[in-house]
Amino acid sequence: MDVKRTDNGMSEIQRELFALRDMKYRSFQAKLIPNIDPARIIGIRTPELRALAKRIKARPETAAFLGQLPHAYFDEDQLHAFLISEEKDFEKCVDLTEKFLPHVDNWATCDQLSPKVFRKHADDLLPHIQKWLAADQPYTVRFGIGMLMQHYLDERFDPVYPESVAGVCSAEYYVNMMIAWYFATALAKQYDAVIPYMKEARLDVWTHNKAIQKCLESRRISPERKAYLKSLKINRKDDLREQVDRIRYYEVILCQAQKALKKGQANAIGAALAGKIRELSAYYGSSEWKKDFAADEAGMLPPDLKRGVLSEDGVYNVLQQFDECHTKHIR
């Protein structure tokens, strides 16, 4: 079924959404989701969206709305998440979820997507969660972690689940924030099973410290455990100093390589610099590079620090030029 359009070109559902618009709330919401273009935000409060989802879920045109992706507006995505959450058929709900997840581009929509039917089908859901954890899209990964946190930290808990979350390696702020949130919640519910992750510092420093911070803010963790967790915080200054020194080291190599490659001659790159460029190649895309990139995204690095080495295109172009130059020289 096609989406019904009104005389002004809007779909019927879009018309209903704009009728619920709150401009003050729109301004507030735009600040909370800075990666979303404000022009895509209508400005509708969450209770209004939930109520609309309940009203329209059985309408014939709603199926067409769910099949029409991507949506033009953030609020349509929010409504889409609430409609999926209302679906009672597990297989259909999973199908709708997997079609929608690649289009989720912000934490709010990701976290609003919480299908009720998943709780009743926890065993069937696990293979899907493992697939989501391995996805390329950051908000699909965040959603997978959120499902483990929501459905598998009580009577269904298994030590393999925090192991899966700890194994997620990402430079994305909103993924690492969800990992921290997961471990803080796990420490509140499954302390004995999860505390080794903190004692052994098995998470990256930022996520480790963020999880502890969330524990210290929690009312579900005793003062005695909070005191112990606080003692496990890692001195970020020492870790950050190491990161800054590493970035400066590779930044020098990047600048030297760029200058040499401008000459376009293989003999401009001596053996010593060629070896350094290979070091740069190993660093690029490594866990250390991802950690440094995440620190930059989180605003942790000094503002005056040169960080061209954290630009994917910049490093990739140098490595590609070096490879082409080296290949020509061999020929």
CATH number for position 131: 1.25.40
Q: Please state the rounded mean pLDDT for residues 167-177.
A: 88
Domain end position, chosen among 234, 267, 289: 234
**Per-residue pLDDT reduced to its tens digit, 8-52:** 568 899 999 999 999 999 999 998 898 899 999 999 999 999 999
Segment 319-330 shows an average pLDDT of 65
Containing structural domain, residue 14: 1-114
Say which residue, 319 or 23, is predicted with more confidence: 23
Nearest to 139 by CA among 110, 178, 167, 100: 110
Examine the domain organization and report whether 265 and 276 are in the same domain: yes
266 with 317, same domain: the answer is yes
Tell me if the bond preceding 138 is cis, omega within 30° of 0: no
CA-based torsion, 257, 260, 265, 266: positive or negative: negative
CA–CA dist 70, 46 (Å, integer):
20
User: CA 128, CA 113: separation in Å to the nearest integer?
Assistant: 15
Q: What is the mean pLDDT of the chain?
A: 89
Residues 135 and 230 reside in one and the same domain: yes
What's the total number of domains in the chain?
3
Half-sphere exposure (Cβ direction) of 15: Cα atoms closer than 13 Å: 10
More confident residue, 321 or 139: 139
Model confidence pLDDT, tens digit, residues 81-95: 999 999 999 999 999
Is residue 229 domain-shared with residue 241, that is, in the same domain? no
Considering the domain architecture, whether residues 226 and 284 belong to the same structural domain is answered as no
The per-residue pLDDT for range 298-311, each reduced to its tens digit, is 788 888 889 899 98
- Name residue 5's beta-bridge partners: 11
Quote the CA–CA distance of 155 and 105 in Å, as a whole number.
Answer: 32
Query: What pTM was estimated for this model as a whole?
Result: 0.71
**Which of 199, 308, 294 shows the shortest CA–CA distance to 240?**
294
SS3 153: coil
- Indicate if 137 and 214 belong to the same structural domain: yes
Q: Give tens-digit pLDDT for 246-299.
A: 898 898 888 888 888 776 555 556 777 788 888 888 888 788 888 888 888 878
The amino acid at 254: L
Identify the pLDDT of residue 8.
53
CB 135 within 8 A of CB 100: no
Alpha-carbon 82 to chain mean position = 20
- Tell me, yes or no, whether 86 and 164 share the same domain: no
- Shared domain check, 163 and 215: yes
Domain boundary among 73, 96, 114: 114
Determine the longest span between alpha carbons in the chain, in angstroms: 71
User: Are 170 and 215 members of one domain?
Assistant: yes
* Same domain (yes/no): 76, 88: yes
Count CB neighbours of 117 within 10 A.
18
Cα-trace Rg, the chain: 24
Grouping H, G, I as helix, E, B as strand and the rest as coil, residue 309 is helix
Looking at residues 234-245, what average pLDDT do you find? Answer: 77
Instruction: Mark whether 198 and 225 lie in a shared domain.
Output: yes
Among the candidates 99, 114, 129, a domain finishes at: 114
Are residues 203 and 297 located together in one domain of the fold?
no
Cα–Cα distance list, 270 to 28, 185, 195, 210 (Å): 56, 53, 50, 44
Confidence of residue 1 (pLDDT cuts 50, 70, 90): very low
